[in-house]
A and B are shown apart, each in its own frame.
Chain A
Amino acid sequence: MKILVCISKAPDTTSKIAFTSGNTSFDENGVQYIVNPYDEWYALVRALELKETLGGNVTIITVGNAVDESIMRKALAIGADDAVRIDAEPKDAYFTAMQIAAFAKNQSFDLVLVGKETINYNGSQVGGMIAEALELPFVSLASKLDIDGNVIRLEREIAGGVQVVEVSTPAVISCAKGMAEQRIPNMRGIMAARTRQLTVVPAVDVQELTSYVQYDLPVSKSACKMISPDNMDELVQLLHNEAKVI
């Protein structure tokens, strides 16, 4: 089983979100980058579990600059066999997906796994775009993934429930909660990952289709109105007359 896992960097979930240059770019000051949790916890760990039972090879790929190599080493420390970086700023989902598709095109991966979305841009776009570019089936938001021969059996989220679906390899799958449990790399893995060779691939020429031109922070709420626990009728009246939500 030859598996490609697409990973992205994301700010640590406790990061303070702020912007600079007139709110046109993310303020990276003091921000610790991690592997996007959906990519790491679900896509990468499930890929490693499949490799452990079926044999094969897990390659991780990211689109980014040399400073992003720390997330590649983290993925290697957890257990990936190879790490590839497309040497470019990931301008938008389309640009990123086209870079990964160009790399994967002639490599005959059985599975291409992505996290269901990144926690910084939340677009849920890259997986479907890779699938379309490679003309492969795409199963979005899978919470369970098993392999039997060349059949992939998946559970995917649908509105208010789940569906069990089957598709033959190769396919692109976006991975959501439930697929695997987070793995903490051990010291031996971390040490070994430090000296591993990382593959750097030049970017292909692609024009991005979208750009973020501005950011903004939500206006903070006005002071919270406190209500006595013995006066729930007042709360109900406020929700009805003032907030108008019931």
Chain B
Amino acid sequence: MTLVYIHSENGLSKAAKEVVTYAKKLGDGVSVITNGNTTGDVLAELGEYGASSVMVDRSVSSDDHQQLLDLVVFAAEKTGATSIVFSHDLTAKAIAPRLSVRLNAGLVSGATDVPNESGAIRVNVFSGKAFGFVKVNSTKQIISLLPNSIQPEITGGACGVEEINSGASTGRIKLITTKKPEGEIPLPEAELVVSAGRGLKGPENWGMVEDLAKSLGAATACSRPVADIGWRPHHEHVGQTGVAIRPNLYIAAGISGAIQHLAGVNGSKVIVVINTDQEAPFFKAADYGVVGDAFEVLPKLTEAIRKFKAGQN
């Protein structure tokens, strides 16, 4: 049996469908454990992606990692699962390592594929500059799947949903406040990202980056120097020491493409680079390149996207 933990606050995320699809591909039956407020009817849809049953404990808070850990341990014991799958998000980073010690189960963090023919699982190493293939030596295994590594696949119909009470105890970490900017697309989950660097010359020029992002429905990001000098918030910094992302489309304007920046974005499916310097190293990692001034190219691209979107409707 494979056990999957998913977040299900306000519905099913794409990441949730990805991990259930992934678990199904491991070959055994799939049980899902979750918490949160998503209705049973919606949770039942996880059956379409391969779940044979869903357990939900509404009393467990997603903010309490200790309680979440106890919930997953409870479900692992109940189902006798030998594989446990998470999405490789901040929750997984908080609880999967503890679970590994608790269950004496090898942990593969940031898996990008199903196990290969020799049972090894591919992960990104050296901050995205290489792949490693990891084998688990223990009987039980824990895998956290990097978002956007596989696509959700519908293979069946709805499954049963069971309301449970795991009796998970509350943890010792006290939540004081949550600060969440409204309406922004969280960078690690974004499928389209528009990013800019020092070539934009100043924070007052970010309007055109935001306009392009808005026309696409994309998140915005930036290079490290831009975050360091305070033009943009640190959580937008992508690169080796910032956030690593793997969107379907990454558009970079005014970023030269230093190796540390590439490390954070080279998992992107398609990269578009806009730079005045045709020798910028980023062009070597790009699929499409535009040699030109971001101040002219970005508004033109925004216009072209708007025209395209209008034509589609």
A80 beta carbon closer than 8 Å to chain B = no
**A159 and B90 contact, CB distance less than 8 A:** yes
| In the complex, per-residue mask of B126-141: 1 if CB is within 8 Å of any chain A CB, else 0 | 1101111111111000
Known contacts A129-B98, A168-B172, A239-B288: A216-B133 contact under CB 8 Å: yes
Please indicate the chain B residues that have their CB under 8 angstroms from the CB of A233 in the complex. Answer: 304, 307-308
| Cα–Cα distance between A138 and B100 once the two chains are bound (Å) | 14
| Cα–Cα distance between A208 and B102 once the two chains are bound (Å) | 14
* Residue in chain A with minimal CB distance to B294: A229
Please indicate the chain A residues that have their CB under 8 angstroms from the CB of B131 in the complex. Answer: 215-218
Please indicate the chain A residues that have their CB under 8 angstroms from the CB of B269 in the complex. Answer: 243, 245
B78 beta carbon closer than 8 Å to chain A = no
Q: Count chain A CB atoms within 10 A of each CB in B89, B97, B110, B120 and give the residue with the most.
A: B97
**Chain A nearest Cβ from B242, distance in angstroms:** 7
Please indicate the chain A residues that have their CB under 8 angstroms from the CB of B93 in the complex. Answer: 124, 128, 140-141, 174
Cross-chain contact of B126 among A119, A143, A160, A210 (Cβ < 8 A)? A119
Known contacts A129-B98, A168-B172, A236-B305: A38-B241 contact under CB 8 Å: yes
Cross-chain contact of A229 among B123, B184, B290 (Cβ < 8 A)? B290
Known contacts A140-B94, A178-B234, A243-B249: A209-B127 contact under CB 8 Å: no
Please indicate the chain B residues that have their CB under 8 angstroms from the CB of A183 in the complex. Answer: none
| Cα–Cα distance between A166 and B118 once the two chains are bound (Å) | 45
Known contacts A209-B100, A216-B130, A246-B249: A163-B109 contact under CB 8 Å: no
Please indicate the chain A residues that have their CB under 8 angstroms from the CB of B263 in the complex. Answer: 13
**B127 and A119 contact, CB distance less than 8 A:** yes
Known contacts A94-B100, A128-B94, A225-B287: A163-B178 contact under CB 8 Å: yes
Known contacts A129-B97, A212-B132, A213-B133: A235-B286 contact under CB 8 Å: no
Please indicate the chain B residues that have their CB under 8 angstroms from the CB of A204 in the complex. Answer: none
B169 beta carbon closer than 8 Å to chain A = no
* Residue in chain A with minimal CB distance to B299: A232
B164 beta carbon closer than 8 Å to chain A = no
* Residue in chain A with minimal CB distance to B127: A119
Cross-chain contact of B285 among A139, A221, A229 (Cβ < 8 A)? A221
Please indicate the chain A residues that have their CB under 8 angstroms from the CB of B272 in the complex. Answer: 235, 239
Known contacts A137-B172, A160-B180, A235-B272: A240-B90 contact under CB 8 Å: no
**Chain A nearest Cβ from B278, distance in angstroms:** 8
| Cα–Cα distance between A237 and B185 once the two chains are bound (Å) | 25
Please indicate the chain B residues that have their CB under 8 angstroms from the CB of A214 in the complex. Answer: 120, 132-133
Please indicate the chain A residues that have their CB under 8 angstroms from the CB of B175 in the complex. Answer: 163-165
**B101 and A232 contact, CB distance less than 8 A:** no
| In the complex, per-residue mask of A155-184: 1 if CB is within 8 Å of any chain B CB, else 0 | 001111111111110000010011000000
| Cα–Cα distance between A213 and B249 once the two chains are bound (Å) | 31
**Interface segment out of the listed B27-35, B46-54, B150-158, B186-194:** B186-194
By Cβ-Cβ distance, the 8 closest A-B pairs, closest first, are: A128-B97, A229-B292, A161-B180, A160-B186, A209-B106, A232-B304, A132-B101, A132-B98
Please list the residues of chain B having a beta carbon within 8 angstroms of any beta carbon in chain A: 63, 65-66, 89-90, 93-98, 100-102, 104-110, 118, 120, 122-127, 129-138, 171-181, 184-189, 192, 216, 234-235, 237, 240-242, 244, 248-249, 259-260, 263, 266, 269-273, 283-293, 296-297, 300-301, 303-305, 307-308
